[in-house]
Amino acid sequence: MIAVENLSFHYNNNITIFESITSELAPGHIYGLLGLNGIGKTTLLKLLSGALFPKTGVIRINGIIPSERSTPFLSDVYFVTDEVDLPDWTIADICSIYSPLYPKFDLVYFESLLTSFQVDNRENIKDLSYGQRKKVNIAFALASNVSLLLMDEPTNGLDIPAKTQFRKIIAKHISDDKIIIISTHQIRDIHHLIDHLLILKKHKLVLDKSIYELGKVIKFVRNSHQQALYTENHIDGDHHILANDDQEDSPFDIELFFNAIHENPTFLNQIKQIIPQSHA
C-alpha cells in the first residue's frame, strides 16, 4: 500500500511542482500516471522511489518512508527510468552483480524475458541500441519481483513486437502483492493494461479513479446525437464522451478522456457531479 499525505514539492529554484497531493494506492493494480510535459510525473516517481524528498507531507510505502532509503525499502522497489544508464558490462555480468540487491530476483525469469525480447545475455551493454538497453532494464526490473515497480515511459524506444511482448508480460506480471505505476505519453501502447488513472494538472492530482468506476458513469460512443460531455472530430467521425445513464459497456478511451480534462475546463466538475464521492 502506498499512502501519500499532503505531499508538496519544489526543486531548489522554488517553483512549485506539487501542492498538497493525497492518495492511497493499493496492491494488485496497474496505475497509469498521466499529465502534460513538465507537470511532474518523473518527479513523483522519484519521490516514490526515495530519490527525492518531499518538502512537506509524507509518503509511506508499506509503512516505510522512501526518503529514509532503508535496505528493506530499496531492495523491494525498482524504477525503470526513461534514460537507461547501465555500466558497459555484459548483461550476464550486470545480472550477477546487481541481482543480489533484490532478494526475490528470479534468474530463470530474467533469462526467459531476455529471450522474449530477443536479447542475448552475452551481449555487452555498449554494443546495444537504446531500445535493446531498455529491454534489458525492463527484464531486470520484472525479474527483481519487487513489490513496487515504477516505470517512466517504458515503451519509448521499443520496437513494435517488443511493445506487444511488453503488454503480455506486464499483464501476467501483476499480482495481489505488487503495485505497478507507469508514466507515459504513449497511452495507446498500454491502455489495456492500466486499471487506475492518476492525472496530474496544475500541481494537483486532479483525477485518482479506477477505470471500472469511471466506466460506470461515462461511456465512449461515435456519432451520437445525445448531449455529450466532450466531443472530438476525427477522420472516422465524431468521438464522444457521454454520461453512462444506461450502464452500457464501452471500451474506455484514455486518450479522449485525457484530452477532455485538458480541453474542457468544466469536464472534471461534471465528472465530480456524476461521481459525488469522487476525489476527481
Beta-sheet strand order (sheet of 237-243): 218-222, 237-243, 230-234
Q: Show the cell assigned to 99.
A: 541481482
- 32 touches ligand ATP by CB under 6 A: no
> By the 8 A CB rule, do 90 and 122 touch?
yes
At closest approach, how far in Å is the CB of 186 from ligand ATP?
11
Could you tell me how many residues of this chain bind ligand ATP (CB under 6 A)?
11
Q: Of 7, 31, 41, 208, which one interacts with ligand ATP (CB under 6 A)?
A: 41
Q: Which three cell numbers stand for residue 125?
A: 551493454
20 CB neighbour count, 10 Å cutoff: 13
Question: Residue 257 Cβ, how far from ligand ATP at the closest point, in Å?
Answer: 18
Pairing mode, if any, of strands 148-152 and 77-80? parallel
Options 40-48, 188-196, 236-244, 249-257: segment touching ligand ATP (CB under 6 A): 40-48
Stretch that binds ligand ATP, among 22-30, 36-44, 127-135, 270-278 (CB under 6 A): 36-44
Of 2, 7, 17, 199, which lies in the binding site for ligand ATP, with binding defined by CB under 6 A? 17
Could you say which of 11, 107, 188, 266 contacts ligand ATP (CB under 6 A)? 11
Task: Report CA 27 to chain centroid distance, whole Å.
Answer: 13
* 3-class SS of residue 78: strand
Q: Which residues bind ligand ATP (CB under 6 A)?
A: 11, 13, 17, 35, 37-43
